[in-house]
Amino acid sequence: MKIYIKTEKNIKGMVRSRVACFDGPGKVSLKEVDLEPSEEQVLVKTVQASICGTDKLYYAGEVPREVNLPICPWGHEGGGIVVKVGSKVREFSEGDVVMSFGPGTFADYFLATVPYGCLKAPEGIDLEVACLGEPLACAVHAARIATRNVGVGDTAAVVGAGFAGQIILQGLKKCGVDPLFVVDKVDFKLDFAKRFGADIVLNVDRDNVVKEVMDSTDGRGVDLVVEASGSGDGLNLASEIVKHNGTIVIYSHYMKPFLANLFRWHEDALNIVHACLMHHTKEEMVVWTREAFRLVKKNLFNVKPLITKKYYLSEISEAFENEILNKNSIKTAIIP
C-alpha cells in the first residue's frame, strides 16, 4: 500500500516538525525541530500515534532510574507514510505505509532507522489499525503465548483490561476457555471486556476477586492467568487466583520494584511465562510481528473499537492529564 504526500521543506531541504518531549513526571512539552534522514533512515509523516501504558506510568511518576530525562522526541506507538528515504535504504520507498517500532512518534514527522525502526504495514490492513502496529503485535503475540498454555474448557483470567488485555481475552475465548474472568479497577474497561467475550468481570476495588474465582472453580483456582495490569498488585493477585501447578503469563512491563509472592511460585510449582514481544531480539520481533498480523488479517481480533479517544498533537498535555484523571479509555490516539 502506498500513499503519496507533498511535504514542506525549509531552505536546507529539511522538514520542520513539532515533537513532544517528556521532561519529567507531569511535564510534556512541544518543540520544533528540523528533520533530515541519515543514509540509513526514512522520514515518516505521522498519520496516528497512540499512548502506551508505559507512557502513562512515566507521566504519573513511575520512571525507572535507568531512564535518562528528558526523553525527546517521545512516543513509540504509531505509523505513517514514508516521505523521504536515505541513500542506503533499499527496503522502503516514498509512499510506503509503515508501522513504527522506534522512538519519536508524538510528532508531525518521525525518523526511523532501517531495518528495525519501522516495518511495512501489511496489505489490506485498515490505516488506523496499522498505526497500532507495535502495541497490536505485542498483544496478539501475548495472546498466542497464552493460548498455547490452555485448552478447550480450561479456566483463565486476565488481570488488567487495557488495550493488551482486551486483545488477549479475545484470543483466550476463541480457543475455548470457559469461564474467562477479567479483572480491572475501571468499569468502562470491564464493560468492553464483557462485550468482547469475558464470562465474569470483577472490579478489584469492589469485588472480592479471590473469593469469586475460588467459588467459581470449586476452590481450585484458574488454570492460567495473564497479568496485563502493569502493577505489582496485579501480579500478586495473579499468584493468588492461579491453581496449583498453574500458569502465569506475564505481559506487563513493571516500572518500579515491588514485593512479589514467590512462595506460591515455588511451593505450587507455578509455570511462569514471559510474553513481551519487544524484549527479544530484533529478528524475533520482525518474525512474530508478521505472524501477529497474519492473525489480524483473518479478523480474529476486533481492534478498531478499542481506539476510544483521540487528541491533536497540540493537546498532548491535556491528553496525558485526562489519561491519569479519567481512566475511561482503552487506547488513546494522538493525531498531528
Measured between alpha carbons, how far is 174 from 136 in angstroms, rounded to an integer?
A: 17
Query: Contact, 171 vs 301, CB < 8 A?
Result: yes
Helices and strands counted in the chain (H then E): 10, 15
pLDDT of residue 279: 81
Residue with cell 497474519: 294
Domains of the chain listed by start with CATH number: 15-132+303-335 (3.90.180.10), 136-277 (3.40.50.720)
SS (H, E, C) 53-84: HHHHHHHHCCCCCCCCCCECCCCCEEEEEEEE
What is residue 122's DSSP assignment? P
Q: How far apart are CA 116 and CA 125, in angstroms?
A: 20
Residues in the chain: 336
Average confidence (pLDDT) per 10 residues, the chain, 336 residues? 65 83 97 97 98 95 93 98 97 96 97 96 93 95 96 97 98 97 98 97 98 98 97 96 98 91 94 90 89 91 96 98 93 98
Which residue, among 140, 112, 114, has the nearest Cα to 125 in the 3D structure? 140
> What is the pLDDT, as a whole number, of residue 11?
44
- Under a CB-based contact definition with an 8 Å cutoff, are residues 53 and 102 in contact? no
Alpha carbon dihedral 305, 231, 262, 250, in 10-degree steps, equals 30
Q: Identify the pLDDT of residue 33.
A: 97
Count the neighbouring beta carbons within 10 Å of the beta carbon of residue 31. Answer: 11
Query: What residues contact 192, with CB distance under 8 A and at least 6 apart?
Result: 161, 166, 305, 306, 330
Instruction: Answer for the pair 313, 106: CB distance below 8 angstroms, yes or no.
Output: yes
pLDDT recorded at residue 276? 86
Distance separating alpha carbons of residues 284 and 301, to the nearest angstrom: 22
Per-residue pLDDT, 4: 64
On whether the pTM is more than 0.85, the answer is yes
The C-alpha atoms of residue 158 and residue 169 are separated, in whole angstroms, by 7
Q: Looking at the DSSP assignment, which residues form a beta bridge with residue 226? A: 158, 249
List phi, psi (to 5°) of 278. Answer: -75, -10
End-to-end CA distance of the chain: 21
